[in-house]
Chain A
Amino acid sequence: MRKSLFPKLAVQNIILNRRFYFPYLLTIIGTAAAFYDIAAIAYDEGMRQLRGAEYVSMFSAIGIFIVAVFAVIFLFYTNSFLMKRRSKELGLYNILGMGKGHIALILLWESLYTAFIGIVGGLSAGVLLYKLMTLSLHRLLRLEVPFGFQISPKAMAATAILFGGILLLTLLHNLRRITVVNPIALLHGENMGEREPKTRWLLALLGILTLGGGYSLAMMTQNSQEAMVVYFLAVILVIIGTYCLFTAVSIAVLKLLRRNKKFYYQTRHFIGISGMLFRMKQNAVGLANICILSTMVLVMLSGTLSLYLGTEDVVAQRAPTDLIIRVNYDPIRGQTGPDVQALKERLSGQVASQGQEVTKLEGNYYYCFSGSGKNGTYDLYSGASMRYGSFTTFTFLTAQDYAVLTGQPVPELGEDQVLLYGIPDDSLTFTRGETLVFSFQVAEHLQAFPDVSGGMGLGMVGRPAMVVVKDQEVLHQLPRWDAEATDSYTQITYEYRMDLTGTADEKYDIWTILSDETDYTGTGQWDTLWIVSRENIYNENFGIAGGFLFLGVYLGILFLMAAVLIIYYKQISEGYEDRQRFQIMEKVGLEQREIRRSINSQVLTVFFLPLVVAAVHVAFDFRLMLQLLQIFSVTSVLPTALCTLVTLLVFAVLYAVVFALTARVYYHIVSR
């Protein structure tokens, strides 16, 4: 046989099998482009130095790993589908007298072409997309948009090596398949195993249990700490449950329906139920995959989107003013604290020297710690708080400061009396283990509390409580008690909240001057002075949220692509199987319209089932997501609900479009 025959045959095969090969090539190009882009971002040194973009680099490093694993699994899946469809063709070659070596040569050439088209195409698409992505990324992170094209040779090499490797592995897998299997089996490869599915009660039961378990875990978590611990477990349970649901529960339900003669022996149900039984048998795993991928897309998109949109609020909460100046001092070591007035003048003076004005300046002392427990008794031992998974963060203010902040007269309080906001207890008792450390009586429950910064407990992990104590002496006593009980304590803080005139850049300059270039001698006894600018918090938070959203959208699109491809392949294989059934039914006297309607409803059910199940998953996940978002201080329910709903709707529309497009291919096959 002439040597040039094999490359030619390989090209011909790719063209003849375009219905399967085209999406396969598209998959390779798509995943390769995705991999290149995420690698290029991770390797981009400039990106790492960009203010607020360091998180994207970090997430991209995680992303590289996820995309690589995904690429391996997904390319193997599509390849096995392709080979299954082609087993007849390869068997025929064998019977026509080609040796297995010859077939291997053809496959080798096909792989070479595939790899070439896939990798080169993927890299080109990747370079183009990279520009688009850096544009959108900079928008997301709220940064200036840069110009020019960038190419990352390192990422290109990584892409070529990874995908070359994967394709080599699939080739080896295919070669093993043809050497192991005899030609007759290859010829009949497509029509094997038309057995009626068995009811696997145990698996069905396991499915119901794991799914129920996952759902109830999601419903029972009380707070973000629990949510964090439980989330992974719940996800695993639901994934197992989903597989069982599609493989075993569906078949059990269908068989139960079939047992009901009155119901079963009606034209629509008769064909529908028996058809679905076999469809579910062949498609269960594929459908479960679609369902899980869809759920992932939905959860990632709605979660990261909520986080991103909620960040505006978080920033406002963490940094209610342009600058927040925190002065820490240690009464245990005898420090008396800052000279509030002198410090105020020093700060204002520096601002004035830059030609700007202070438009708002207020301040207060506070002390902060957390304890675990409930109903008025809290354990200060810090290790315990994590173990119990639920704790309350207390922020103590003085009555004097409270009065200034609210503009009301100073409340009359005794040494052991407090005003309390945030929790309903009538007394506060702090212990270490069994030992009482100190306690307060609640004189009054406050219905509202003035806006203070997030550093003081609001918006922090754990249930926030604000406590107003009699005076500074009581406040100074707190770290002492804390130290006695737990061997560790934090310092007392005086916090200024300051608004300025000027642009963001001018404010940033003032921040630098106040942080690094100001002499604070003669402003009292204190340890550290720490200034946070809203600009920094803004960058930091949008860096994280934008990074998450970026990764979420990125993986979301990738998973969506996978789901679309699985749907497409399923439609094709369904089509080839249904064609015969379609023809038989017509001969036996079923109207064409009726056949079409029946098959249509089956196909619809099969393809929209995963979407419905995914929506249910997302609904149960919602509570968990809210709690996880609290870790990032996003606490509003309504916007998150809206995000989830919109994501779900958009996804459903997209899904329907994909379905409609692939359904056309399906009908083309069936009615030919």
Chain B
Amino acid sequence: MTLLEVNNLKKVYATRFGGQQVQALTDVTFAVEEGEFIAIMGESGSGKTTLLNILAALDKPTGGVVKLRGKSLSEIREREMAAFRRDNLGFVFQEFNLLDTFSVQDNILLPLVLSGKSPKEMEGRLRPLAQRLGLTPLLAKFPYEISGGQKQRTAVARALITNPSILLADEPTGALDSKSSDELLSLFSQVNRDGQTILMVTHSVTAASRAGRVLFIKDGQVFHQLYRGEDGDQRFYQRINDTLTLLSAGGENRA
């Protein structure tokens, strides 16, 4: 079943006085099936972050439609937007974005508190999730007391505790060392096997090679996509790398 539909998405940024225009997204179309793990790749300035911001409803497209479970994001009123985001979307950022005033536990519980859940229900959801992500011994600590990898796991827990339809990750391994990156990606694979749909924007080929499908964005369009098929991580890594080389070579030829 199709979970997320993106049709002819377009985004134009105008400079402040309306002079020059910058086309961040020209025409992006793709669909995400329930339970998929998708990586979106592209160079800096290719429009990845713009795309993610629009999917996260943090930014509005200039043209085109984004539909989640058949419902267009543009139909949601401003007032309900925050609640919609909270209930349907989970976010993981490169910079973790944990609140340093909260303990790990309270950081994870934040979205539930915002939704007005009872302490009992929070407890019920927190326990198994913390167990699964190996956060149980860290719950009482504060962000400044734990490592980068642990912070990112906390952020993942915060994203997952609302049981979101889709987990959006923006360069989740960007600020992590390779060991922590591996751990986080294994965690993503595991969560995905349990049925969680994930959409991840990344620079890293290693990270992308753990996904089930990779979309390549260039000049504001989906340029190419690769399915993992029956490939192992190693083989898939190779194919992604080859595509990237081709892409940049092709880009230069065109120019």
Contact = CB atoms under 8 A, between A and B. Distances in A.
Residue picked from B91, B101, B116, B144, most chain A C-beta under 10 Å: B101
Interface string A564-599: 000000000000000001001101111110100000
A262 interface: yes
Contacts of B158: 588
Contacts of B111: 588-589
B99 A585 contact: yes
B16 to A, nearest CB: 14
Given A584-B97, A585-B99, A270 B113 contact: yes
B101 A589 contact: no
Given A194-B144, A196-B142, A274-B101, A590 B109 contact: no
A278 B101 contact: yes
A594 B82 contact: yes
Contact of B119 (A195, A196, A265, A594): A265
Contacts of B85: 589
A559 to B, nearest CB: 32
B97 to A, nearest CB: 5
Contact of A581 (B58, B79, B101): B101
Contact of A265 (B83, B86, B99, B109): B109
Given A265-B109, A265-B119, A267-B116, A590 B102 contact: no
B93 A587 contact: yes
B100 interface: yes
Contacts of A584: 97-99
A265 B118 CA distance: 8
A672 interface: no
Contacts of B142: 195-196
Interface string A333-349: 00000000000000000
B119 A262 contact: yes
B122 interface: yes
B110 interface: yes
B255 interface: no
Contacts of A196: 101, 103, 142
Given A195-B144, A584-B97, A589 B113 contact: no
Residue picked from A194, A585, A588, A590, most chain B C-beta under 10 Å: A588
B82 A587 contact: no
Nearest to B56: A587
Contacts of B114: 267, 588-590, 594
Contacts of A585: 99
Contacts, number: 63
Given A267-B116, A590-B114, A274 B102 contact: yes
A466 interface: no
Contacts of A75: none
A261 B101 contact: no
B106 interface: yes
Residue picked from A196, A589, A590, A592, most chain B C-beta under 10 Å: A589
Given A588-B91, A589-B85, A589-B111, A274 B106 contact: yes
Nearest to A583: B97
Residue picked from B82, B106, B116, B158, most chain A C-beta under 10 Å: B82
Given A587-B58, A594-B82, A266 B100 contact: no
Nearest to B158: A588
A639 to B, nearest CB: 48
A396 B1 CA distance: 108
A622 to B, nearest CB: 39
A277 interface: yes
Interface string B64-81: 000000000000000101
Contacts of B89: 589
A363 interface: no
Interface in A371-412: none
Contact of A267 (B56, B99, B113): B113
Contacts of A587: 56, 58, 91, 93, 97
Contacts of B86: 588-589
B208 to A, nearest CB: 23
A212 interface: no
A270 B122 CA distance: 13
A53 B85 CA distance: 72
Nearest to B96: A584
A595 to B, nearest CB: 9
Nearest to A595: B82
A277 B101 contact: yes
Interface string B103-126: 100100111011010010010000
Nearest to A269: B113
A261 B86 CA distance: 22
Residue picked from B83, B93, B99, most chain A C-beta under 10 Å: B99
A270 B58 contact: no
Contacts of B116: 266-267
A422 interface: no
Contact of B100 (A194, A590, A594): A194
Contacts of A270: 106, 110, 113
Interface of A: 194-196, 261-262, 265-267, 270, 274-275, 277-278, 581, 584-585, 587-592, 594
14 contacts: A194-B144, A195-B142, A265-B109, A270-B110, A277-B101, A278-B101, A587-B58, A588-B97, A588-B110, A588-B158, A589-B86, A589-B89, A590-B82, A592-B82
Interface of B: 56, 58, 79, 81-83, 85-86, 89, 91, 93, 97-103, 106, 109-111, 113-114, 116, 119, 122, 142, 144, 158
Given A196-B103, A275-B101, 7 more contacts: A262-B119, A267-B114, A274-B102, A584-B97, A587-B93, A589-B111, A591-B82
